[in-house]
Amino acid sequence: MSDLTSLLLKYSKAGPRYTSYPTAPYFHEGFREAEWLDELASSQDPARGISLYFHIPFCDTLCYYCGCNMVATGHYERVAPYLDCLEREMDTVSARVDKTRLVRQLHWGGGTPTYLKPDDIRRLMMAIRQRFTLAPDAEMGCEVDPRELTRDHLVALRESGFNRISFGVQDLDPKVQVAVNRVQPKALIAEVYGWARDLGFTSINMDLIVGLPYQNVASFAQTLDTVLDWSPDRFAIFGYAHVPWMKKHQKLIAESDLPDFATRLELQNLIHDRLSAAGYVNIGLDHYAKPTDEMVLAQRAKTLYRNFQGYTTHKNCDIYAFGSSSISQTRTTYVQNQKTLRLYEEGVMKDGLCVERGLRLTRDDEIRRDMITRVMCDLELDGAAFSAAWGIDCWDYFADALPDLQAQATDGLLTLENGVLRVTDLGLRFLRNIAMCFDRYLRQDIAPPGAVIRPRYSKTA
């Protein structure tokens, strides 16, 4: 057994991905529409940008591995009422937003945003522009499923101003694709990728997943060879989380068909080695980008940030999120919409909003969020600078984390010298474990408000 494999085994434990802190299980139903309206009214800082997120929950077919909030349906007539709801919700929020504030970032996720027909893509984008002020250089991204995608869809996205796109590739092995009910031949993906390049999308990401049924090192190496030949700008490579108790459709995947732990570790090593050899920079937490990519440049400049959309180059923005299950974020609050589509639509059409739960951060939450974010984005933290920023003694404040950090330093995951923490190249593989040292909720085993069970997270390896 290699030293790396031993470490991956040692540190494989359930833990958050820290797209927020506190994490979503700690949101509570005591924070609802009234609190969100108050926050909107009181948080209009002209110096802060805006990031808009739109959740399109519909998909043509069900991918068995999916952990997203989605609805697989062939009934396209469900789209128009949903777009009506998005517009109604935007009316409520935009009426309380300072019109001088610029939208720096816009993202459509799902589900499958390109489930929308081209004219409905244009309709939604027009509705957004009527209610918010988009910066001329706004970063505008959309997730797409290569299946059912036409060139007209991509034309509509480009005409609407989108400049970034993310393809859900997952795996190119036909046996794996059949097992997860997502059949998309290599030639199909190559064609739509070519369309995107021809139409001028300036940044293309590809999503891959490891841990799917029947995956092995030899077959996934072939997938990597092909996608690297296409040369996308970024990769996001996620570990499949098999949680059939939460996502009932995952029961359609036989647990016996999933790669064992040793194979998953080999797959992780393969990905790291192949992408690094191809010149991609490991941003951290399963994300890779070309050295000239804005994300890499932002990390070097220490302006990279992390939120519910993953890593982002837009740090000083409030997120206003629309649609079922979407999560908004200001400096001191998180707000999540109703996840059930019917309840979301009924609530929005009645009241203009449909908040299911939220959270107002304490000062301790803010301090710990900043620490976790800086470590995961900058890959280092100067204790003296952090102390000055927050008016605390950094390493005294986080004294309870020091024993774990020192153990990780012994294992080569980080260095902690002269008050400066630095993540090593090896430690990039263990970012979640490092961040967990600063998580008060995990350390003190605190249950979410009203919860009868503790949160259940995916494994870090």
Q: Would you say the C-alpha torsion 109, 112, 116, 121 has a positive or negative sign?
A: positive
pLDDT of 340 higher than 60: yes
pLDDT of residue 451: 58
116-120, 251-255, 440-444: which is most confident: 116-120
pLDDT band of residue 176 (cuts 50, 70, 90) is very high
CB-based contact 89:352 (threshold 8 Å): yes
Q: Is the pLDDT of residue 325 over 60?
A: yes
142, 107 in Cβ contact below 8 A? yes
The fraction of the chain above a pLDDT of 90, given in percent, is 85
Cβ atoms of 284 and 376 closer than 8 Å: yes
Name the amino acid, one letter, at 389. A
Res 455 pLDDT > 70: no
**Residue 404 CB partners (closer than 8 Å, separation 6+):** 437
Average pLDDT over residues 255-283: 94
pLDDT the model gives residue 1: 56
Q: What is the mean pLDDT of residues 292-321?
A: 92
Please write the tens of the pLDDT for every residue from 43-101: 999 999 999 999 999 999 999 999 899 999 999 999 999 999 999 999 999 999 999 99
- Please give the Cα distance from 404 to 348 (Å, whole number): 46
CA nearest neighbour of 140 among 161, 167, 117: 161
Q: What is the mean pLDDT of the chain?
A: 94
Spatial contact of 81 and 135, defined as CB atoms under 8 Å apart: no
Q: What is the mean pLDDT of residues 305-311?
A: 88
User: What is the predicted pLDDT for the residue at 444?
Assistant: 86
Counted residue by residue, the chain has a size of 461
Q: What is the pLDDT of residues 195-244, one digit of tens each?
A: 999 999 999 999 999 999 999 999 999 999 999 999 999 999 999 988 88
Cα–Cα distances in Å, from 68 out to 83, 395, 440?
19, 38, 27
**Predicted pLDDT at 132:** 98
Which residues of 192-244 form beta strands (DSSP E)? Answer: 203-210, 234-239
Is residue 453 predicted with pLDDT exceeding 70?
no
